[in-house]
Each structure stands twice: as structure tokens, then as C-alpha cells.
A and B are shown apart, each in its own frame.
Chain A
């Protein structure tokens, strides 16, 4: 699905080093690390909006920087940590924008696009939000809707930058539960960055841990690691 070969990641100077890393479909990955260690930069490198300093990122064996925008948008979707909602934009219309990579040059949607949106609305169980305006939702609802849009985009790789950052305890679990369900059912490769260790350890299949001292990213199966070990790798000064 996603393969990284000896990549140095950062804007201008190297922030983070990734040795060989291979991510598989049907698995949920949690990206854990201190603030400023390069989690967002890592995710943006995977979408291709930031280039690697050295090394390569392959998406289904195609180099991510050689992909044209439109075909990349059919393979990777991205959800930010906050979606503020937009005045006069209904939830349904917002979700329909997830079909943009598939529509023609004039952006006209057909019945198939609407069916996809309706099926995702059912999957995420947000029927009651369909006709609401996006700026009138609660924070938890906004995050649900933002994730639903990424699912409407029907990409195999789904990236989420701290999707639980602004949510209450209950909503945090709900969102990650939803991610786990979609990842399994649709055979997605899902990566989310998070500071909620308990949730990550409980729900994710693998952890991607960033050590702030060695600046290296390592992959560990969640089953084979304890919370204390995660803390000692990611937050060594504690």
C-alpha cells in the first residue's frame, strides 16, 4: 500500500528520519510523538504536499511526487484536526465535495456520486445531520462529518492529523471506533496522529513512534508493547 525507503522528512532541514517502512491495507496506524517532532510534516509528506529531503515515498508502487493531483486525490485523503464549518454549506453538499476527484471539469455530480454520499452517511450514521449547515454543528459532529468526507473520497489511504484533539472523552472513543470499523470493512490503510495513548494502544493495530532524541520513526505492533515503553520512546524526558 504505502512504502517509504530511507526518507529524510522536513521542510528545509531534516526533522525526522524514516528507515524502510511498509504500511498495509486493512490496518489502523497511530502516529505518536511529542509536539513539534514532525507528525504533521510526516503526514503531509505522505500526501505529497511536502517533498522528502532524501529518500522516496511510494503509493501502490508509484512515486508520490510523480502522481498528478487528480489521481493522487483518488488514492489519499486527509482530515485536519479542526473543521470550523462553513456558512451556507450544508452537510450533504460538503460531503459531495469529496467526489471532486471523480467529477468532470465542470464539477457536475451524478446519481452515482449521490449514492456514494448517502451510503457513507449511513455508515457513519449521520442521517440526522444531512440537511444541517456545517457551521451549526458541534465539534464532535464537525469531526464526524470531516471524516465522512474523506470516506466519500473513496481512497485506500486515509490520513488524519490529530482527529481527536478537540473532542470530549466520549467523542474521542467514538471517532477512533469509527475509524477502526471503516478500516476493517473497506480494507483501508488509516493513519492518525494522536496524543491519546490509551485510545491508540487499545484501538490501533500498529503504533508509529517518533523518538525525539534519535529523530527516528519506528513501527511497533500494539500487542507487543506496553504503555510505559511507548512513553519511554516518545517522551524520554518524563
Chain B
């Protein structure tokens, strides 16, 4: 892809992102002004209704939509390059489900330490870490892309069953809360949690900076990466931590959001036609945020008529893409 095309595409994505952020922020009964936003952040007045709406409702929801969309897409991209498999992604390979299991365990354990905010995030990240490790171990024994996919899906279903068994032992209220959380939602976050989320997110982004060069060589396969001087063990560790933090963090706050991590990097590769991960990461993050903001806008606008779970909307985008990739690979294989 030449430079001008790249700049044009990036410009279009940035423009879309800004527009969607503004529309998303302004969706609701009250129209906010810029000074509401500024004061809501820096000189907050509890009695000013607009400022309260901005600070407690709009800002957290818009922010988490951006972070979740970007984070899941980056995690998906990392996994696709690392496993050399276009069908990899945190939800489809069971990492989100693993994260959910540990969140369920933490919430239902009855210990207040575990069910605190820090407890839930730690549990979610820990769960994602364990499931990423499991996948890494399995991937050493299977060569084919589809086998790894099936293992991931089995891991996910298996874990879902454990979660369901766990649910049958909990009281009605916890069950209801967990079920709603499982649909995926961007409404659970409040203003006070934002700094923690942003801090964890930036930590993963920092690690990501050191992964770009190795990932570019991983496109050629792990063996070639090693021959080009890449330290494989170090890359494996970093990828797993990165994927676990992104997936765990977002799963803890928004529930297991499906398909974004799988679909977005594939769309980006089609648009940008490059293997350069500097471009792929930035574009995936932007497109992920755009897609999740759009999904949430749809939910917000239909709210009066029907309560749609986030996961049903993301699946509308994601499922056709999975089928398309499988068909495309089949056509390639038969040629």
C-alpha cells in the first residue's frame, strides 16, 4: 500500500472516530455543552445536572466503548499473528470465557476481597492468563488452523458448562447479575473506575510497543522469526500478558464481548493490505472503537423499543466474517 492511500484511510478512520465519539456522547435526553464536559472533569459541581450526566453516565460509557473496542481488536490481532491463524480471537478461542469463569468464581466466592473491584479485575486477568497458557500448550500439539479453532471452541463450551453448574448453586440475585453481565454491556462502568481501567490499558499498550518488531517477523512463521534473531520465549511471555490484560480488563467490566477481536483485524487487513504491525495495531484500535461505538449507538437508539444485548449486535457483524474467511481459505486450498 502506498503512503497516500495509507494516510487517506487513516484520516477517514480518525474522522469517523471523532464524529462517533461526539454523537455517542450526545445521545440521550440532555444535550451537553463543551463547558459541561470541561467543568465535569476539572471543577465538578454535584448540583449541576448536565455535569453529573456527563461525568457519571456519558463519559464512562463512551470511554469504555472506545477502550473495549480498541483493546479487544488489538488482542485479536496479536493472537492472529502469534498463532498464524486469521480465525483467532479472544472470544472465539475461549479466553473471554476463561476470564468469565474466574469472575464468576470471584463474585460467588462470598469473600469481599475477591468481589471488590480490584479482586474482580485481578480474577478476570488471571483467568485470561491461564486460558492463554492453555491455548499455547495445545497449539504445540496441533498443526492445523481449524484444529486450534475447534480446541478453542471446546474449551469455551466446557468452561461455559462449569459456569452454568456454578450458577445453579448461587442465589437468584447473583445469578441475575451474572446473566446480565454475560450479555455484554457498556453500562457497568462508573467515573471512579476509569483511572484504574485506563492505567491497566496503558500498561498493556506499553508492552505492545516492544511487540511490534517481533510480530512483524512472526508473519513469516516462528522458525523464521527465530532465525532473524527474535527471542521467542520473551515474545511468547509478552503476547500472553498483553492479551490477558486487554481481554481480562474488558471482560471484567463489560462481560465477554464476542467477535470484535476476531472481525476487526481481518477487516483492517483487507482495507490496509499490509503486514506492518505499526499500521495494523493503530488501525485495528481505531476501527474496533468505531465498531463498538456504532453497536452501542444502535442499542441506545433502540432502547425505547427493545433491550438488545451487546453481544447479539457484535455477532451480527462478526459471524458473517468468520464464514467468509473459512470460505475464502477453502477456495484458496482448492486452487
In the complex, which residue of chain A has the Cβ closest to the Cβ of B216? A107
Which B residues are CB-close (under 8 A) to A80?
Answer: 223-224
Which residues from B are CB-within-8-Å of A94?
220
Least CB distance from A172 to B in Å reads 23
Please, which residues of chain A bring their CB within 8 A of the CB of B275? Answer: 86, 88-89, 93
Whether A88 pairs with B269 at a CB distance below 8 angstroms is yes
Kindly name the residue among A93, A97, A101, A133 whose own CB sees the greatest number of chain B CB atoms within 10 A. A97
- Hey, what's the 0/1 contact readout for A73-102 against B, CB within 8 Å counting as 1? 110111010000011110001100110110
**Cβ–Cβ < 8 Å partners of B228 in chain A:** 73, 97-98, 100-101, 153
A60 contacts chain B at the CB level, 8 A cutoff: no
Residue contact A69 to B230, C-beta cutoff 8 Å: yes
Picked from A71, A89, A105, A153, the residue with its CB within 8 Å of the CB of B213 is A105
Q: Please, how many angstroms separate the alpha-carbon atoms of A203 and B272 in the complex?
A: 44
A-chain residues with CB within 8 Å of residue B209 when the two chains form the complex: 106
Question: Is B216 in contact with A69, judged by CB distance below 8 angstroms?
Answer: no
**Could you tell me if A77 and B227 are in contact, using CB atoms closer than 8 angstroms?**
yes
Q: How far is the CA of A78 from the CA of B220 in the complex (A)?
A: 13
Docked Cα-Cα span, A172 to B219, in Å, equals: 27
| Min C-beta distance of A79 to chain B, whole Å | 9
Distance, CA A71 to CA B219, complexed state (A): 21
Residues of B within 8 A of A49 (CB): 223, 226-227
B274:A72 contact, CB within 8 angstroms:
no
For the complex, is A70 an interface residue (Cβ under 8 Å from B)?
A: yes
Which B residues are CB-close (under 8 A) to A78? Answer: 227
Tell me whether B217 is interfacial, beta carbon within 8 Å.
yes
Q: For residue B251, give the distance in angstroms from its CB to the closest CB of chain A.
A: 29
* Residues in chain B near residue A47, CB distance under 8 A: 227
Closest to A98 in B: B228
C-alpha spacing A86/B274, complex, angstroms: 10
Bound: A27/B274 CA distance, A: 38
Q: How far is the CB of A46 from chain B (nearest CB, A)?
A: 11
A73 and B227 alpha carbons, distance in the complex (Å)? 6
CB distance from B121 to the nearest CB of A (A): 29
Least CB distance, B82 to chain A, in whole angstroms: 15
**Contact indicator A97/B226 (Cβ below 8 Å):** no
CA separation between A74 and B276, bound complex, in Å? 22
User: How many chain A residues touch the partner (CB < 8 A)?
Assistant: 28
- Find out whether the CB atom of A100 lies under 8 angstroms from the CB atom of B273: no
In the assembled complex, B26 has its CB within 8 A of some CB on chain A: no
Question: Considering only CB atoms, which chain A residue lies closest to B276 in the complex?
Answer: A93
Q: Give the residues from 94 to 140 in chain A that come closer than 8 angstroms, CB to CB, to chain B.
A: 94, 97-98, 100-101, 103, 105-107, 133
Query: Which residue, B223, B228, B274, B276, has most C-beta atoms of chain A within 10 A?
Result: B228
A86 close to B227 (CB less than 8 A): no
Q: Choose among B212, B226, B273 the residue that contacts A107 (Cβ–Cβ < 8 A).
A: B212
Chain A residues with Cβ below 8 Å from B210 are 105-106
Is B231 an interface residue when CB atoms closer than 8 A count as contact? Answer: yes
- For residue A111, give the distance in angstroms from its CB to the closest CB of chain B: 15
Are A73 and B213 interface neighbours, CB within 8 A? no
CB B312 to nearest CB in A, in angstroms, measures 31
Q: Could you tell me if B276 and A106 are in contact, using CB atoms closer than 8 angstroms?
A: no
Asked if B229 is an interface residue, CB under 8 A from chain A, the answer is yes
Q: How far is the CB of A48 from chain B (nearest CB, A)?
A: 10
Quote the shortest CB–CB distance from A138 to chain B (angstroms): 14
A74 contacts across to B, CB distance below 8 A: 229
A180 to chain B, nearest CB (A): 23
Q: How far is the CA of A106 from the CA of B275 in the complex (A)?
A: 15
Given contacts A86-B219, A107-B213, whether A69 and B273 have CB atoms under 8 Å apart is no
**Docked pose: A101 CA to B231 CA in angstroms:** 11
Residues on B with beta carbons closer than 8 Å to the beta carbon of A101: 228-229
- CB contact between A103 and one of B213, B219, B223, B227 (< 8 Å): that residue: B213
For B229, give the chain A residue with the smallest CB separation. Answer: A73
Nearest B residue (CB) for A83: B220
Q: How far is the CB of B234 from chain A (nearest CB, A)?
A: 10
A97 and B229 contact, CB distance less than 8 A = no
- Contact in complex: A106, B213 (CB < 8 Å): yes
Are A69 and B226 in touch, CB under 8 angstroms? yes
One of A72, A88, A105, A153 near B273 (C-beta < 8 A): A88
Q: Please indicate the chain B residues that have their CB under 8 angstroms from the CB of A88 in the complex.
A: 269, 272-275
Given the complex, which residues of A lie within 8 Å of B224, measured CB to CB? 80
Docked complex Cα distance between A69 and B214 (Å): 13
Contacts of A73 in B (CB 8 A): 227-229
Complex interface: chain B residues within 8 A of A103 (CB) = 213
**Cα of A119 to Cα of B220 in the assembled complex, Å:** 22
Q: A47-B227, A100-B230 are in contact. List 14 more A-B contacts (CB 8 A).
A: A49-B226, A69-B226, A73-B228, A73-B229, A77-B227, A86-B219, A89-B275, A93-B276, A94-B220, A97-B219, A100-B229, A106-B210, A107-B213, A133-B273
Residues on A facing B (Cβ under 8 Å): 47, 49, 69-74, 76-78, 80, 86-89, 93-94, 97-98, 100-101, 103, 105-107, 133, 153
Between A and B, 5 residue pairs with Cβ closer than 8 Å are A73-B228, A97-B220, A98-B228, A101-B229, A133-B273
Q: Chain B: residues with CB nearer than 8 A to chain A?
A: 209-210, 212-213, 216-217, 219-220, 223-224, 226-231, 269, 272-276
Counting from the closest, the 9 A-B pairs by CB-CB distance are: A107-B213, A73-B229, A70-B229, A89-B275, A101-B229, A100-B228, A69-B229, A88-B273, A78-B227
